[in-house]
Structure 1
Amino acid sequence: MDPDRKQEIVDDLDMFRDGKDYYASVGKAWKRGYLLFGPPRTGKSTMIAAMANYLDYDIYDLELTAVKNNTELRRLFIETTGKSIIVIEDIDCSIDLTGKRNKNNKKKDKNKKMPWEEEDDKVTLSGLLNFIDGLWSARGGARIITIFTTNHKDKLDPPALIHIEMSYCCFQALKVLAKNYLGVADHELFGEVRRLLEEVNMTPADVAKNLMPLPRSKNRDVDACLAKLVKALNDAKDAALAEPLLALGE
């Protein structure tokens, strides 16, 4: 991702990790929530692994479709430890997103159950978030990060989470990939690659794949790898231009 954006995320993680006194002073649970969103293959799962490695936290991957009821959900959450990241991937595909957290409704039915207390098997986004809020608030000094991922942010009514967009590869990200994969900080083909990245959507994963050495190549041929990337970008550009013509033909 863009190095500046990456540094912002690292700084936020540092502030959270070292924020025990701050959270205690404001009377809030020591927790943080992130929503990673963007197209497939843009690095959402890789970002989660990088966060866990950076903080040295455990990861709990929660598959909500396998949770039978709210009692089981509560048990799973309680079994997690402090200094952990709870991951719920593809949140829009896992639960009912129609539940709303209505904070403005002043008339409350005392007999009405809260979303996480409902008896049916359906888990709603509102119930899940309220459940998490209440549980972590009761756990005192635990350091907890909850991460949701989605390919379709427009389907969500996002709560107070830190939004991190995982998008297509930009030129600054390409330079980082080129340094990691090829060991180069500059190249005569960078100008053409930059122009094409402004015209074509290509995920970081696909860019990295094209920067890998050619089959049967013993050495990292920088020219060949970058030329392969240029060809892939041009092919993607031609395919994108051809789509409207194909639609007209139909």
Structure 2
Amino acid sequence: MIAAMANLLEYDIYDLELASVNDNTDLRKLLIETSSKSIIVIEDIDCSLDLTGQRKDKKDDKEDEKDPIKQMEKMKKKKKGSEVTLSGLLNFIDGLWSACGRERLIVFTTNHIEKLDPALIRRGRMDKHIEMSYCCFETFKVLAKNYLDVETHELFATIGRMLGETDMTPADVAECLMPKSDEEDVEVCLKKLIKCLEDAKEAARVKAQEDARIKAEEGHI
């Protein structure tokens, strides 16, 4: 999707890994050096830095200063990786928007939006929230048309039912539909997708049972 945006707008793409940036000053330098008419992509922002909104009040900070163990842990974290902070990122985003927001787009991706600080994802900073959901039957039909040049088939009903029962991304569906050789016709590819859906459903069932078992064991501790 990002590539499509860049092609449509004729913008450059910058892929920024926050974990490799030393501090807020370096972050500002990097982003200011990006060209106008560009898309700045920060992927998996929930994993890049501690931007989860777990803020401490002044009382907690004073208590941490008195605790030598917590001070040592803080020093280890500083030596270990990036010192870019949430406030530093927010300040830059606001500054970039006010200076040249019309010529730059910032795209954040995350698998856990609930973990992010509300200040980061509020309207005005992230103007558009797009959920990349699992594949539905309508999306499957578009993929089948694109990859197999078929608009209807007797196996469509089975696939539609299974897509309603199983979570699978459009990318995984496309991978199953894509012919690997000239010998794989439409029916072979559709049956391959059905097998993938069956495997995904079974894997989800096993995982749910395992999660329930772990939860039950934790409840008895």
Secondary structure, counterpart of 2:130 in structure 1: strand
Whether 1:80 and 2:44 are equivalent positions in the alignment is no
Give yes or no for contact 1:99–1:124 (8 Å, CA) kept in 2. no
How far the C-alpha of 1:210 sits from its partner, in A, is 0.8
Is residue 200 of structure 1 aligned with residue 161 of structure 2? no
Report the identity percentage: 64
Cα distance in 2, alignment partners of residues 153 and 88 from structure 1 = 14
- Give SS of 1:139's match: helix
Measured in 2, the distance between the counterparts of 1:220 and 1:97 equals: 47
Cα distance in 2 for residues equivalent to 1:195 and 1:152? 28
Deviation at 1:241, TM superposition (A): 3.0
Corresponding residue of 1:126: 87
Instruction: Tell me, yes or no, if structure 1 residue 226 matches structure 2 residue 180.
Output: no
Find the partner of 2:110 among 122, 141, 150. Answer: 150
Instruction: Between the two structures, name the one with larger relative contact order (CA 8 Å, sep ≥ 6).
Output: 1
Structure 1 unaligned regions, length at least 5 = 1-46, 102-119
**Larger Rg, first or second structure (1 or 2):** 2
1:163 alignment partner, SS class? coil
- What TM-score, normalized to structure 2? 0.74
- What is the deviation of 1:134? 1.2
For 1:148 and 1:176, locate their aligned partners in 2 and report how far apart those are by CA, in whole Å: 27
Q: How many residues align?
A: 183
Is the strand fraction higher in 1 or 2? 1
Q: How does 1:126-205 map to 2 (within 5 A)?
A: 126-139=87-100, 142-156=102-116, 157=118, 158-160=121-123, 161=126, 162-205=128-171
Partner of 2:199: 235
Residue matched to 1:5: none
Partner SS for 1:60? strand
Matched, 1:55 2:6: no
SS in 2 for 1:87: strand
**Matches for 1:13-28 after TM superposition, within 5 Å:** none
Unaligned runs of 5+ in 2: 56-77
Relative to the length of structure 1, the TM-score reads 0.66
* C-alpha RMSD of matched pairs (Å): 2.5
Tell me the CA shift for residue 135 of structure 1: 2.8
